[in-house]
Amino acid sequence: MSAKDYRVPEPGYKDYIKPYPELWWTKKRPYLLFMVREFTALFVLLFAMRLLQGLIAISKGEAAWNAWLAGATNSVALAIGSLFALFFVLFHSITWFQAGAVVSPMRIGKFEVPPSMFVLGNMGLVVAVAAVIGYFSLGG
Amino acid sequence: MSDKMKKLTVTRYNPETDSAPRTQTYEVPYDDDTVVLDALNHIKDQQDGTLTYRWSCRMGVCGSCGMNVNGVPKLTCATFLRDFEGDITVEPLANFPIMRDLVVNMSDFMEKLKRVKPWLIPKEEKSIDEGEYLQTPRQLEAYRQFSMCINCMLCYAACPVYGKHQDFLGPAAIALGHRYNEDSRDGARAERNKIIGSGEGVWECTFVGECSEVCPKHVDPAAAIQREKLANVLDKIKSFILPRGSSR
Ligand code: SF4
Ligand code: FES
């Protein structure tokens, strides 16, 4: 929508436009992390789809659920794939919490919770909830 | 001034004679108080009067002395030579067209700034007799941080999205739009968000976060962008549920 491309020099000017470095994402850690996020987003999608499949299976009854479970545990490829995906989901959740921390900064009284603490706290919560669920689903 | 010396490699570009920028190295004396801008002034005064760069206030207020120092966007008037181990490279702010030496073309940024209407547009104009638009300290806090921007464009130089897509409205313009959107005296949020909420606005941002890293005024434009993303989504949902009178 820009009316004008300012990287094309105005008449009478000879502005020099530096080409953007091909390997720009190798120049800084945050750039690299950004690229990793872009390329691993697919795993998050696959993970979510697989999870959704499980939920649908639950709603269909015990037989469907058991079949889904068997699929998850019998196929080595699927199990490895799921572990991989889980790893990236956890990796991405750090970014989500980071974004969450800046979107709605948390205050306790006068104390503004720093984003790093917000992220750590939430990740801790994730681990705790997972542990509780794990404990019960593995038969207590 | 002490007799410590520092080597500065500076970008030179003369549009009349050069087809591409080149570099030139100077040696300058420095002590604990010397900033990069002082070093450039020393070069211009004592060694090479043709060196061209922008500056004004020398105190981190005007926002005109931004350059890439060792690859990182910095206000050169607030960047001390003593903080660098070896030689220093000084380049024009990245991601902008180079006009001459260290001077970049800022037209793109100026145009974008105008497009987000960074001024108060009250819902209803009050006549002078009706008095001031009042605001509580709490309402002020909602946007104060985002009003600290000095338009130095360091955030644009740090943003890889802007580097790749010139269409992106960019960190400072969105942060300033957000500043007025959050102002209790303002009523033009819907109007601004036609641009801020568009594909060239917040949705180009992938939350790399380098804009907030380099911002000398702790504006945190990345936070402003993420908040505008949420606000825009909520607005969309609201206008879906309540097609009429949905903008707050
Ligand atoms: S947001 Fe910060 S870095 Fe960007 S122009 Fe404003 S003061 Fe400079
Ligand atoms: S000269 Fe004004 S900000 Fe550096």
Query: For position A2, what pLDDT does the model report?
Result: 46
For residues B167, B171, B177 and B180, what is the CA-based torsion angle, rounded to 10 degrees? -170
Decide whether any atom of ligand 2 lies within 6 Å of the B153 Cβ: no
Statement: residue A140 has pLDDT above 80: no
The predicted structure's pLDDT at residue B246: 46
Which residues in A lie closer than 8 A to residue B18 (C-beta atoms)? 16
* Tokens linked to B60: 């981190």
Residue B65 contacts residue B77 (beta carbons within 8 Å): yes
- Residue B50 in tokens: 């043709």
Q: Which spans in A18-75 are helix H?
A: 29-60, 62-74
Contacts of B152 (CB under 8 A, 6+ apart): B63, B64, B65, B66, B75, B216, B217
Say if residues B177 and B170 touch (Cβ distance below 8 Å). no
Please tell me which of the candidates B166, B200, B220 has its beta carbon nearest to residue A7. B166
**DSSP letters along B162-221, please?**
HHH-TT---HHHHHHHHHHHT-TT---HHHHHHHHTSTTTGGG-----HHHHH-TT---H
B58 lines ligand 2 (CB under 6 A): yes
All residues of chain B having their beta carbon less than 8 Å from the beta carbon of residue A28 are 210
pLDDT value at A15 more than 80: yes
Give the Å distance between the CA of B237 and the centre of ligand 2: 43
CB contacts under 8 A, A 44-83 vs B, are: none
Residue ranges of chain B with per-residue pLDDT less than 70: 1-2, 244-248
Residue B30 CA, chain-centre distance (Å), reads: 28
Tokens of A135: 């404990």
Atom of ligand 2 nearest to the CA of B65: 4
A34 touches chain B (CB under 8 A): yes
Inter-chain CB proximity B166 and A5 less than 8 Å: yes
Contacts of residue B220, defined as CB under 8 A and 6 or more positions apart, other chains included, come to: A102, B145, B146, B175, B212
CA B152 to ligand 1 centroid distance, Å: 5
CA of A66 to the centre of ligand 2 (A): 67
Of residues B29 and A27, more confidently modeled: B29
Q: Is the CB of B177 under 6 A from ligand 1?
A: no
Better-predicted residue by pLDDT, A71 or B36:
B36
Please judge whether A2 and B200 are an interchain contact, meaning their C-beta atoms are less than 8 angstroms apart: yes
Mean pLDDT in chain A? 85
Q: Write the residue in B99, B209, B213 that is nearest to A13 by C-beta.
A: B99
Residues of B within 8 A of A39 (CB-CB) are none
Report the chain A residue with the minimal C-alpha distance to residue B199. A1
Looking at residue B79, its pLDDT comes to: 98
User: Which architecture, in CATH terms, is B107-241?
Assistant: Orthogonal Bundle (1.10)
- CA–CA min distance A94, chain B (Å): 12
Question: Which residues in chain B have Cβ-Cβ distances shorter than 8 Å to A7?
Answer: 97, 108, 166
pLDDT reading at A79 higher than 60? yes
The pLDDT score that the predictor gives to residue A109 is: 78
In chain A, the domains with their CATH numbers are 26-137 (1.20.1300.10)
Handedness of CA B227, B230, B234, B239 (dihedral sign): positive
Cα A135 to ligand 1 centre (Å): 49
Arithmetic mean of pLDDT, A45-61: 90
Q: Which among B16, B195, B209 has the least Cβ separation from residue A30?
A: B209
Atom of ligand 1 nearest to the CA of B151: 5
Write down the ipTM of this complex.
Answer: 0.81
A122-137: per-residue pLDDT in tens?
A: 899 999 999 999 898 8
Please name the residue ranges forming H helices in B19-159: 36-42, 107-115, 137-141, 154-158
CATH ID of B5-104, from 1.10.10.10, 2.40.50.140, 3.10.20.30, 3.40.50.720: 3.10.20.30
Contact A31, A24 (CB under 8 A): yes
Phi/psi-derived region of residue B168, left when phi > 0, alpha when psi is between -120 and 50, beta in every other case? beta
CA of B185 to the centre of ligand 2 (A): 31
Burial class (CB in 10 A: 0-12, 13-18, 19+), A123: middle
Q: Tell me which residue of B111, B106, B186, B107 sits closest to B146, measured CA to CA.
A: B186
Q: Which two tokens stand for residue B147?
A: 């009003």
The residues spanned by each domain of chain B are 5-104, 107-241
How confident is the model at residue B123, as a pLDDT? 87
